[in-house]
Amino acid sequence: MTDAAAIETPIGTCRVLDADCELAEAVSEGRRPQAVRECVALEVTVATGAFAKLGASLPPGSIGLLVHSGLLMRRVGIDGRFGAELLGPGDVLRPWQDDAIEPTVLQLTIGWRVLEPARVMILDHRFARHLGSYPELAGPLFGRAVERARNLAINMAIVHQPRVDVRLHMLLWHLAERWGTVSSRGVRLPLRLTHSVLAELVAARRPTVTSALSDLARRDLLRQEDDGWLLAGARPGELVELAPARR
């Protein structure tokens, strides 16, 4: 992860419904081939690092940015203390809205960082016009925003757990609900999350996180691998109560 500004590189147009099968399923089978052809968007790659202006030049009426692949983090700070959320494939972003937040009594510090190189589809005003022909796409897109708010509420509940090892265990299983895959050895979470990033996500100090991860590994609950994490056993009972069925 570098401190340099992330570099945005256009890579051409993309068929959004080919890239996002869940959106495609919202359109009836008879109309789906035409919808796939018509619903196109510019796709860009974004290198790792911090960024602030991605999508800021989009014209009025644009929907936002739809993450195709990669991993991003949004940090919001007050008086040097930060909360963070992790965003990845399927999430809809509007980073430029942070610049439009009116000053309040709380002096907010907001920043975005690309943790793994990302491919992002730009749902601009041209894509938005197609929603008139395919209004059934509006519900799933709006649902992405609602789901993001739900995930933030779950993150808040996790951070309120008193023990850091419990927070980490719950967080990794929560992320696995979104992006994990089942293997013969357990549930694989293919996210290269450093101890520093995990510390941001669970509101703890990095040395404390390193110690807690070592304890979880000794208890055979997780293992850090080259391409992410391997989770073993059952997910925490508290998380079962918080999270509905996987999307």
HEC secondary structure over the chain: CCCCECCEEEEEEEEHHHHCHHHHCCCCCCCHHHHHHHCEEEEEEECCEEECCCCCCCCCCCCEEEEEEEEEEEEEEECCEEEEEEECCCCEECHHHHHHCCCCCCCEEEEEEEEEEEEEEEECHHHHHHCCCCHHHHHHHHHHHHHHHHHHHHHHHHHCCCCHHHHHHHHHHHHHHHHCEEECCEEEECCCCCHHHHHHHHCCCHHHHHHHHHHHHHCCCEEEECCEEEECCCCCHHHHHHCCCCC
Residue 73, pLDDT > 70, answer yes
Residue 104, pLDDT > 70, answer no
Question: Which pLDDT value is given to residue 247?
Answer: 43
Which of 71-80, 162-171, 215-224 bottoms out in mean pLDDT, i.e. has the lowest?
71-80
Instruction: With cut-offs at 50, 70 and 90, classify the pLDDT of residue 97.
Output: confident
Instruction: With cut-offs at 50, 70 and 90, classify the pLDDT of residue 21.
Output: very high
pLDDT higher for 238 or 165?
Answer: 165
Within a 10 A sphere around the Cβ of 172, how many other Cβ atoms?
Answer: 28
Query: What fold, for 8-141?
Result: Jelly Rolls (2.60.120)
CA distance 111 to 187: 31
Residue 223, pLDDT > 50, answer yes
Could you tell me which residues come within 8 angstroms of residue 206 by beta carbon, excluding any fewer than 6 positions away?
A: 195, 196, 199
Q: What average pLDDT is seen over the chain? A: 87
Longest distance between any two alpha carbons in the chain, whole Å: 56
pLDDT higher for 91 or 79?
Answer: 91
CA distance 52 to 113: 9
Question: Which pLDDT value is given to residue 245?
Answer: 44
Question: Which pLDDT value is given to residue 99?
Answer: 61
Q: State what percent of residues in the chain have pLDDT above 90.
A: 64
CA distance 144 to 107: 28
Question: Which pLDDT value is given to residue 206?
Answer: 95
* Burial class of 24 by CB neighbour count within 10 A (0 to 12, 13 to 18, 19+): buried
Average pLDDT for residues 92-116, to the nearest whole number?
78
Average pLDDT for residues 108-118, to the nearest whole number?
89
Nearest one of 202, 198, 181 to 190, comparing CA atoms: 181
CA distance 67 to 90: 5
Instruction: With cut-offs at 50, 70 and 90, classify the pLDDT of residue 1.
Output: very low
Calculate Rg over the CA atoms of the chain: 19
Where in the chain do CATH 1.10.10.10 domains reside? Answer: 161-242
Considering 3-12, 31-40, 81-90, the range whose residues carry the highest mean pLDDT is 31-40
Question: According to CATH, what is the number of the domain 161-242?
Answer: 1.10.10.10
Average pLDDT for residues 126-152, to the nearest whole number?
91
Where in the chain do CATH 2.60.120.10 domains reside? Answer: 8-141
Instruction: With cut-offs at 50, 70 and 90, classify the pLDDT of residue 111.
Output: confident
Which of 74-88, 210-224, 227-241 bottoms out in mean pLDDT, i.e. has the lowest?
227-241
Q: What is the pTM of this model?
A: 0.85
Question: Which pLDDT value is given to residue 88?
Answer: 94
Nearest one of 171, 161, 221 to 193, comparing CA atoms: 171
